[in-house]
Amino acid sequence: MERACGECWVFVEHKDGRIKQASLELMAKGREVADGLSRELAAVVLGWNIGNVAVELARHGADKVYLVEHPLLERYQVDLYCKAVSDLASEVKPDVILFSSTRVGCELAPKVAKRLRTGMTADCLDLRVDASRGLVKQVKASFGGNVMVEVVTPFHRPQIATVKPGVATPVVKERREVVVRVTPKLDEREVKVRVVEKLETQKEDNLELAEVVVAGGRGAGEEGFRLIRRLAEILGGEIGGTRPAADEGWIPRERQIGQSGRIVSPKIYISLGASGALQHVVGFRRAGLVIAVNKDPKAPIFDHADVGVVADVKEFLEALIQELEKYLNAR
């Protein structure tokens, strides 16, 4: 087995000088793993002129920050980012590298893992530590969320995982900041995929941070989703949905809740017309109060909710909206 230096790394994403929420959560998870293994936690951040980001990272629990700066890293590009991270990892030999399950993390982590000739686990919902064996137990849902599996990488280093956004809460933990400046060797000719045009259509939504999430399934129907949007508006919440709802185009794919979508932890999660496929259920397990409405009293969703109503989604939503409006208008 390759000798590892023992550091636990977190790959940090940022935009416009700000660290992404997913990365802050991952820092919290990384801190747990590093402490469990009695190792140092290092944040790895790539870009150009991003010194302020490095300072911020010490506030979120990093013992060390690898500040990898190069003009070619100003914009994310998978080939160059992979090279910069892999080269640094080959030199420092960290024990663990964690990425967020963002679009960036999902394509960068497997590439880095392959280049370093090691394994990886995608879309982890939790990371546990087996300190006696020095292993990170990577917990993820499998088979459409029907079962959970624990994956380890016993004989290869580093141990690499992507972790789903929404499964940890960021913490503020002041550490002594040690910034290690790294200048990678990069060449523009290594870029294999050229970006012709960027279309930023969606504003970053607040699904992971929302207090209320109103989500619909196939049983809600297109008409139901009109009411779901109205309800979310009244409650100042965000809308979401199941995979079938996204397949039908009733919600944007980015708002799909579940194992292959987003993980949310609102105070209130309202599920309307969803059957309760585990693939979906995994997505709101950390929610506070879960209210489910389905016209089938045997729907599995009721096994995953605190309160259930057996009713037609449209009828119920109309009544609920009326009730809430009555109250809110009376104030």
Q: Which SS3 state, helix, strand or coil, does residue 268 take?
A: strand
Q: Which tokens is 299 given?
A: 């729907």
Q: Which phi and psi angles does 36 have, rounded to 5°?
A: -60, -35
- The answer to whether 1 and 88 have CB atoms below 8 angstroms apart is no
Residue 250 in the binding site for other proteins (CB under 8 A): no
> Minimum CB separation from other proteins for residue 316, in Å?
6
Among 7, 99, 282, 283, binds other proteins (CB under 8 A): 282
- The closest alpha carbon to 29, from 99, 78, 87, belongs to 99
Q: Which SS3 state, helix, strand or coil, does residue 174 take?
A: coil
Binding residues for other proteins restricted to 149-168, rule: CB under 8 A: 149-156
How far is residue 286's CA from residue 169's CA, in Å, rounded to a whole number?
A: 11
> Minimum CB separation from other proteins for residue 315, in Å?
5
DSSP assignment, residue 295?
S
Binding residues for other proteins restricted to 189-208, rule: CB under 8 A: 192-204
Among 23, 242, 260, 265, binds other proteins (CB under 8 A): 260
- The answer to whether 275 and 177 have CB atoms below 8 angstroms apart is no
Residue 248 in the binding site for other proteins (CB under 8 A): no
Query: Considering CB under 8 A, how many residues would be counted as binding other proteins?
Result: 92
Among 30, 145, 217, 261, binds other proteins (CB under 8 A): 145
Measured over the CA atoms of residue 155, residue 160, residue 162 and residue 166, the dihedral's sign is: positive
Q: Which SS3 state, helix, strand or coil, does residue 262 take?
A: strand
Residue 2 in the binding site for other proteins (CB under 8 A): no
Among 38, 49, 90, 142, binds other proteins (CB under 8 A): 142
Residue 278 in the binding site for other proteins (CB under 8 A): yes
Residue 107 in the binding site for other proteins (CB under 8 A): yes
Residue 259 in the binding site for other proteins (CB under 8 A): yes
Residue 72 in the binding site for other proteins (CB under 8 A): no
How far is residue 15's CA from residue 18's CA, in Å, rounded to a whole number?
A: 5
Residue 322 in the binding site for other proteins (CB under 8 A): yes
Stretch touching other proteins by CB under 8 A, among 29-37, 91-99, 221-229, 311-319: 311-319
| Closer by beta carbon to other proteins, 176 or else 326 | 326
Residue 171 in the binding site for other proteins (CB under 8 A): no
DSSP 69-119: E-GGGSS--HHHHHHHHHHHHHHH--SEEEEESSHHHHHHHHHHHHHTT--
Binding residues for other proteins restricted to 10-69, rule: CB under 8 A: none
Q: Which tokens is 24 given?
A: 């802050």
Residue 103 in the binding site for other proteins (CB under 8 A): yes
Residue 290 in the binding site for other proteins (CB under 8 A): yes
Among 70, 72, 102, 180, binds other proteins (CB under 8 A): 102
Angle between helices 103-115 and 78-92 (to 10 degrees): 50
Residue 316 in the binding site for other proteins (CB under 8 A): yes
Residue 305 in the binding site for other proteins (CB under 8 A): yes
